[in-house]
Amino acid sequence: MGNKIFAPKGTRDILPKEVKAWEMVEGKIKEICSAFNYKQIRVPDFEHYALFDRGVGESTDIVSKEMYTLNHRGSDVFALKPEGTSSVIRAFIEHGMTSGITPTKLYYITSCFRSERPQKGRQRQFHQFGIEAIGSYSASMDAEVIMLVDTLFSELKIKGLELRINSVGCPKCRSDYYERLKNFVEPFKNELCEDCQDRLSKNPMRILDCKNEHCKTLLKEAPLMVDYLCEDCKEHFESVKEYLNSAGIDFVVDPKIVRGLDYYTQTAFEFVSTDLGSQGTVCGGGRYNGLVKMIGGSDTPGVGFGLGLERLMLIMEEQGLLNDMEEDGIDIYLAPVGKDALKIAFKSFRELTKKGIKSGIDVMDRSLKAQMKYANKVNTKYTAILGEDELNKGVYTVRNMGTKEQEEIKIENLTEYIKGSLGE
């Protein structure tokens, strides 16, 4: 016998007893997306490396450190997708969805892959629910996107999530701001971590997002983009806040949130839980007016978010929202004794399952006694016994497992009888 093979580090099996909770959450997502008129899109798990190099950005941790790349026969280089947005925008451009109704509103539930150090709420394969609203510059679009995810949280009865919003401006206001930021750090530039030094040349705003404690301290008093927005960006940000207020959605302004790439513009937001420590961000999103053009489309604005489903499930578990999600039992278990009875019971089994009635039948050649034990374990509502006596009479002895009452039912009437009883 060979050694046991385990699942790769950072992956996780979602076992049958957990799937119910996942289906419940996915069901809510579908309901809410439908209420907001977002259409589902399914994209591949791998793409050309270049898509993420451009779409997410070569200077981000995601691309430079966390991406799984695939060398296919030494030629094309592919990558497992680390996020959903780039793929969805690629598909939007590829299928000419530009020319449809504007805005194009899409959602996805998909696997993402990042080579990170696994820990609670951080895996190497995880799932994201996300939406992309493509084609609108308006602040009301940003507010709608935020409202959709806020609706999901309240429908799932999740408490204690804080919505934090910011504006990262546009290329116009950002270049001035970058000068200020660079001037600010100039005196202690060399004290910043290596990553931040690199960010300074490629994407200065990202230093504000650094997790390094020393960098955080040094940058405590750093100038903030929100204080230097141009008129358009300022007005856009004010409008987002007004629409959120008018919809009754609470938020705080957090000037340190950055989605710091050139094509991210204006609104940036996060939903953060204080329960999950450094894995507290459940959902991150924002506006990306430069992205569609960046990956080969026409100049088209967009806004969206990505929400980590594993983190969402962790929070729900901690808040006791996933209790009472036990496996269901079945409706009827057929207990034939002997091969002749089994053949007849198989015909009934065919009928029952075709009607969508949850049914079971002996597949272990068990004795009647063992079958009754099994019937109890699988938590069946009814058991239909077909022994020698019953076979002679052409009936099943149907036992209601709750009341323990028994009744003889003609073999050919079993399905109707069960259907009727379940309907009561």
The answer to whether the annotation marks 263 as part of a ligand binding site is: yes
Name residue 30's amino acid. Answer: K
Single residue of 195, 310, 331, 362 touching ligand ATP by CB under 6 A? 310
Residue 94 CB burial class (10 angstroms; 0-12, 13-18, ≥19): exposed
Select the residue interacting with ligand ATP from 139, 283, 332, 409 (CB under 6 A): 283
Whose tokens are 């209420």? That residue is 35
284 binds ligand ATP (CB under 6 A): yes
Q: How far is the CB of 359 from ligand ATP (least distance, A)?
A: 38
Q: Which residue is nearest to ligand ATP (CB)?
A: 308
CB of 157 to ligand ATP, least distance (A): 19
Binding mask 87-116 for ligand ATP (x = CB under 6 A): ---------------------------x-x
In the complex, least distance from residue 185 CB atom to ligand ATP, rounded to whole angstroms:
22
Question: Is the CB of 305 or the CB of 333 nearer to ligand ATP?
Answer: 305
Q: Which of 106, 282, 332, 418 binds ligand ATP (CB under 6 A)?
A: 282
Q: Which of 214, 222, 223 is CA-nearest to residue 190?
A: 214
CB of 254 to ligand ATP, least distance (A): 14
Task: Check residue 210 and report its DSSP letter.
Answer: -
- The annotation status of 417 as a binding-site residue, yes or no, is no
Contact set for ligand ATP, span 70-89 (CB under 6 A): 83
The tokens describing 90, both together, are 């690629």
Asked whether the beta carbons of 309 and 127 are under 8 A apart, the reply is: yes
Kindly write down the DSSP assignment for every residue of 275-333, as one continuous string: TTGGG-EEEEEEE-TTHHHHTTS-S--EEEEEEEHHHHHHHHHHTTTT-S-PPP-EEEE
d(CA 88, CA 117): 27
Stretch binding ligand ATP (CB under 6 A), from 88-96, 280-288, 316-324, 410-418: 280-288
Q: Pairing relation of β-strands 77-80 and 69-71? A: antiparallel
Q: Which stretch binds ligand ATP (CB under 6 A): 178-186, 276-284, 321-329, 337-345?
A: 276-284
Q: Are the C-beta atoms of residues 67 and 80 closer than 8 Å to each other?
A: yes
Measured between alpha carbons, how far is 323 from 21 in angstroms, rounded to an integer? Answer: 9
Query: How far apart (Å, rounded) are the C-alpha atoms in residues 200 and 222?
Result: 13
Q: With respect to ligand ATP, which residue has the nearer C-beta, 10 or 329?
A: 10
Four-point Cα dihedral 218, 222, 225, 230, nearest 10: -160
260 binds ligand ATP (CB under 6 A): no
Q: Which of residues 311-330 bind ligand ATP (CB under 6 A)?
A: 311
Q: Would you list which residues are annotated within the binding site for L-histidine?
A: 83-85, 114, 128, 132, 259, 263-264
Residues engaged in binding ligand ATP (CB under 6 A)? 83, 114, 116, 121-123, 126, 128, 279, 281-284, 306, 308, 310-311
